[in-house]
Structure 1
Amino acid sequence: MHDERNRCQSCTMPLRFDKNRPISSIYCSFCHDGTCFVDQTLTLQDMKRKIRKLLSERKVSRFVKLYLIVRLSTLKRWRTR
C-alpha cells in the first residue's frame, strides 16, 4: 500500500507533483490553501465525482479509477470519526 504521507489526504494526489504545497502540509494546494480547505462545502460525493471526471479525462484505467475512488473515504479529510 502507498505511504499515506505522500498523498493528499483530501484527493489522493501524490504530493510530489504539487510544487505549491507547503512542505509540512498533508493536503495539496488544490484542496487546501494552508489555512483552510479551498472548497469548504465540498462533500465526499462531490470529490468522488470530481476525481472520476479528472481520471476519465486522463484516460486512467477503470481499475485504478475504482481503487482511488474507494480510497477517498479512508483519507483524513473524509474519514468518519
Structure 2
Amino acid sequence: MIRLAKENPTRGYRRIHGELTVLGIKAAASTVWEILRTTGIDPAPQRTDTTWAAFLRSQADALLACDFFETITFAGARLYV
C-alpha cells in the first residue's frame, strides 16, 4: 500500500483501499489512512506535485518491460504488437 501511494500521488487512501480490496486484501479504509499517516505519506492533494521526469522514473520498470514486434497474419495483414 505504501508503494501504491508513492507511485500514484493523486490517489488518496480511499482509492488505495479500493485497489487493495480488488486484490483481495481485507483492510479497513481507516487502517490504510493510519498506515500512510504513520509512515509520513501526506494526503493525496499534497503529493500531486510530481514532475514528468519523476513520473517516468517511477514507471521505468514497466516501460522497460514492454516489447514491441511486428507480425503478419494468414490474411497478409501486418500487425504491430
Larger radius of gyration: 2
Give the TM bin, normalised by the shorter chain. 0.3 to 0.5
Greater helix share, structure number: 2
Greater strand share, structure number: 2
Q: Which gives a bigger RCO, structure 1 or 2 (Cα 8 Å, sep 6+)?
A: 1
The TM-score, its normalising length taken from structure 1, stands at: 0.35
